[in-house]
């Protein structure tokens, strides 16, 4: 099954390169990066990763801060 999938993917990539030339490869990387960036921005605006940054900030101990100040 894996060999069949690799063959199908290889033939698809070969067909795209033959149709549009090798210049489609950097364009594909750019589009994939742009889509990934948009997904990360959307997740950030939705507040998905906010708990992670607060947890990291709480883990750092400040030697000048007393326990009573917290």
- What does the pLDDT read at residue 26? 92
**Can you give the residue ranges of every domain in the chain?**
24-57
Per-residue pLDDT of 9-65, as tens digits, reads: 999 989 999 999 989 989 999 999 999 999 999 999 988 877 665 555 555 566 666
Please tell me the distance from the alpha carbon of residue 29 to that of residue 16, in angstroms, as a whole number: 14
Buried b (16+ CB within 10 A) or exposed e, 33-56: eeeeeeeeeeeeeeeeeeeeeeee
- What does the pLDDT read at residue 22? 87
- What does the pLDDT read at residue 58? 58
Confidence class of residue 2 from pLDDT cuts 50, 70 and 90? Answer: confident
pTM score: 0.52
């Amino acid at each position: 099954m894996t060999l069949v999938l690799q063959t199908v993917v290889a033939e698809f990539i070969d067909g795209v390169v033959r149709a549009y030339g090798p210049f489609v490869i950097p364009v594909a990387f750019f589009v994939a990066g742009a889509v990934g960036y948009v997904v990360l921005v959307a997740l950030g605006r939705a507040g998905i990763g906010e708990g992670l940054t607060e947890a990291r900030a709480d883990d750092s101990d400040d030697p000048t801060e007393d326990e009573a100040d917290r």
